[in-house]
Chain A
């Protein structure tokens, strides 16, 4: 598989290329409320109009992500890579659904996620993004310690 440093350099080059050619940077989290608006016309109000332009880009970006990952899986004949957990217990299902909920609600409160804030904002030395990253690390580590306990392996 691809070494980590190739992934790092490729991500940097890709985001800079997007900045030059698309007059924006990589981001993902507006896609989720946008999809909600597609499903329920009643939601197409203030927030929908605010995120519409960015969200359209991000929905297609995420669809591309699915296709790119699928292509690599098929080409390497490893379509089914192990997920975070291989069996989905009721607890794991609740964590996945609840985690997805918290993650997107938090991302929309903060106006960005790992790609929009930490990667894209981080490389622009944006104060909002470095501030966000610090609190993400805090929330992630505290939650992991509380929920999964202190592990060594």
Chain B
């Protein structure tokens, strides 16, 4: 029981914030021109920009460990293209589908049904996918810092630089939106 309270609470905060900010819709992908106007791309850029600084500072302070997904370029690239195409057709992401459902979106209900069917199929195909050319080789490199040979201080400097660029990009998009 205790195990479900934390994700439930995180979800409630996530859902409330995304709903209140109207940032649960990925319609920016549907229409390139609205990439500037939609609040989602700049909110996401800002979140990653602020987060990259905080998460590296937290790691430097010993408060957290990294949880990075494996790098297998072929499978991730193919999955990424499919994912991007799917989001463009549907207009929501996996994490925002239930938020959209709470607004009464029939699109979201159909998207969830399609997603569960895909999950069913993928679960069945997974053992074959894992060993196939479609998955490809997995490489041991995980993060850009170690790849560039950076120590803890160097990684923090990299995080600061990337974070500031992303934050700047978010506010630039916001300024463009005002001008659009």
Task: Spell out A's residues near B (CB within 8 Å).
Answer: 1-16, 18-29, 31-37, 39-40, 43, 45-48, 50, 56-73, 76, 79-81, 83-85, 88, 92-93, 95-145, 147-148, 150-153
Contact with A along B148-169 (1 / 0, CB 8 A): 0000000100110010000000
Which residues of B lie under 8 Å from residue A62 when comparing CB positions?
Answer: 11, 95, 97-98
User: Which residue among A46, A47, A68, A138 has the maximum number of chain B CB atoms within 10 Å of its CB?
Assistant: A68
CB neighbours of A114 from chain B (8 A): 26, 44, 87, 93-96
Q: A2-B20, A103-B111 are in contact. List 10 more A-B contacts (CB 8 A).
A: A32-B94, A60-B7, A60-B8, A67-B15, A71-B16, A99-B86, A102-B118, A108-B126, A110-B78, A125-B145
Judging by beta carbons under 8 Å apart, are A105 and B80 in contact? no
16 contacts between A and B (CB under 8 A): A10-B13, A14-B10, A16-B58, A68-B14, A72-B20, A81-B22, A100-B110, A110-B76, A114-B93, A115-B94, A118-B48, A125-B56, A139-B88, A141-B88, A144-B31, A144-B88
Name B's A-contacting residues (CB within 8 A).
Answer: 3-4, 6-27, 29-33, 39, 42-52, 54-56, 58, 63-73, 75-108, 110-124, 126-127, 129, 134-135, 141-145, 147, 155, 158-159, 162, 170-171, 174
A102 contacts B82, CB within 8 Å?
A: yes
Instruction: Give min CB distance, B132 to chain A, whole Å.
Output: 11
Contacts A118-B48, A144-B29 given; indicate if A104 touches B86 (C-beta within 8 A). Answer: yes
A113 and B66 alpha carbons, distance in the complex (Å): 17
Cβ contact within 8 Å between A96 and B111: yes
Q: Is the CB of A128 within 8 A of B13?
A: no
Q: Are B115 and A71 in contact (CB under 8 A)?
A: no
- Contact between chains at A28 and B95 (CB < 8 Å): yes
Identify the interface centre among A31, A59, A73, A107: most chain B CB within 10 Å of its CB: A107
Instruction: List B contacts of A132 (CB < 8 A).
Output: 76, 79-80, 83
Contact status A68-B12, CB under 8 Å: yes
A151 to B122: give the CA distance in the assembly, Å.
Answer: 34
The reply to whether A115 and B95 contact each other, CB–CB distance below 8 Å, is: yes
Per the bound structure, the CA–CA distance linking A128 and B72 in Å amounts to 7
- A69 near B103 with CB under 8 A, answer yes
Inside 8 A of A13's CB, which chain B residues have their CB? Answer: 50, 54
A22, A56, A114 pick with most chain B CB within 10 angstroms? A114
Q: Cβ of B54 and Cβ of A47 under 8 Å apart?
A: no
Whether A117 lies near B69 (C-beta < 8 A) is yes
Chain B residues contacting A140 (CB-CB under 8 Å) are 29, 84-85, 87-88
Q: How far is the CA of A94 from the CA of B70 in the complex (A)?
A: 33
CB pair A36 B119 closer than 8 Å: yes
How far apart sit A25 and B52, CA to CA, in the bound complex (Å)? 13
- Chain B residue nearest to A103 (CB atoms) is B86
A35→B98 CA distance, assembly (Å) = 14
**Contact (Cβ within 8 A) B85 A143:** yes
Task: Tell whether, in the assembled complex, residue A139 and residue B80 are in contact, meaning their CB atoms are under 8 Å apart.
Answer: yes
> In the docked arrangement, what's the CA distance between A124 and B3, Å?
25
Whether A124 contacts B91 in the complex (CB less than 8 A), given A64-B10, A64-B14, A68-B15, comes out as: no
